[in-house]
Amino acid sequence: MDNTVLDAYGWNDVQLQHDFYEVDYLPENDRTRYTIHPDARKEILKRLLALNYQIHEEEVAKGLWDKKKGKKKYDVEEGEVSGVEEPESVYRQPKLFEEPNLFNKKGKE
């Protein structure tokens, strides 16, 4: 699944190197996990941060942010949000799961 996510973002150059690693963000007595290499983790986080900044700049350019408060502007009327595009078109997020939802068919819950 990790490789599928990297493929979806087009980050095929990141070598994940799955193995058991000690991770410093867990309690000292329980830090060993089967995960990606710490360098790969740092690279992915760096790229996600850059992507976040890029998306924010695009939203600012479209006027979706209130410059004074630093928050998104929404036109809320009768419980609906308007003036905001669908996330896929704004954020260009990859589609990881394109199968139809089998649980939302008529007569099934």
Cα torsion 93, 97, 100, 105 to 10°: value is -90
Which pLDDT score, from 0 to 100, does residue 98 have?
61
Give me the percent of the chain exceeding a pLDDT of 90. 50
Cβ atoms of 23 and 9 within 8 Å: the answer is no
Residue 108 CA to residue 98 CA, distance in Å, equals 20
**Cα 21 to the chain's mean position, in Å?**
24
Q: Mean pLDDT throughout 62-89? A: 60
Mean pLDDT of the chain: 78
Q: Taking 90 as the threshold, does the pLDDT of residue 44 lie above it?
A: yes
45 vs 9, 13, 39, 49, 63, CA distance in Å? 13, 14, 10, 6, 27
Who wins on pLDDT, 109 or 99? Answer: 99
- Give 11-28 pLDDT, tens digit per residue: 999 999 999 999 988 999
Least confident of 47-51, 63-67, 68-72: 68-72
The rounded distance, in Å, linking the Cα atoms of 16 and 5 is 12
